[in-house]
Amino acid sequence: MNKQIYVLEGSYRNRKVENTTFKLVKPYQPYPHKEGGFITVKINDLTQYPGATKDHIRISLNNENQLRDKPPESRKEETDAEVVERMRKRFEILDSMTKATKKGDIRAMIVSGPPGVGKSYGVEKVLERYGVISTLGDSKKKYEVVKGAMSAIGLYVKLYNFQEKDCVVVF
């Protein structure tokens, strides 16, 4: 068995063993009369683990959730330019989805996320470009942005008023 195991947090003879990769000898075994369990692992350096007389030791664990097959991957730090580029791509997709909704290619679109990131702003910006034509031609508005709460009857009335093709209601 040449399986590697990554220990998030455990102990060997009351000394902490954290964030270390070992070669697994025996898998997790629960203690019969108390909480937790242990794994048996192979070690290369006996001096690192005082009291170890063989090339393998038992590491005590509170539970099996403290084990991983491989170490967690560290996230790469992004530069400000990379963050801006990633966000620009996201909002570019939002703009193209809004255009597709306005054309009727998509019947409905739900955009969710934390407040203040520009979800409504991007949608309103695209719809304003489409709304310029109806404003110049003195025709009925093709979109409306509804803010705040609304009763069920108010919702039905609003949807009825914007039932024609190319009409969009933003909540």
Q: What pLDDT score was predicted for residue 160?
A: 92
Residue with tokens 């997790």: 28
| Closest by CA position to 122, among listed 97, 149, 86, 143 | 97
- Each domain of the chain, given as residue ranges in start order, spans 4-68, 80-170
First to last CA, the chain: 58
pLDDT in tens, the chain (171 residues): 578 888 889 998 888 988 888 888 988 899 998 899 999 999 888 788 887 888 888 888 988 888 877 777 777 888 889 888 988 888 888 888 888 888 888 888 888 888 888 888 888 888 888 777 666 666 777 888 888 888 999 999 999 998 888 788 888
Determine the 3-state secondary structure of 163 from DSSP: coil
Q: What pLDDT score was predicted for residue 157?
A: 92
Query: Sign of the C-alpha dihedral, residues 48, 52, 4, 20?
Result: negative
* CB 66 within 8 Å of CB 9: yes
Q: Which two tokens stand for residue 93?
A: 């997709």
* CB 98 within 8 Å of CB 110: no
Q: What pLDDT score was predicted for residue 46?
A: 78
Q: What pLDDT score was predicted for residue 135?
A: 65
Q: What pLDDT score was predicted for residue 1?
A: 54
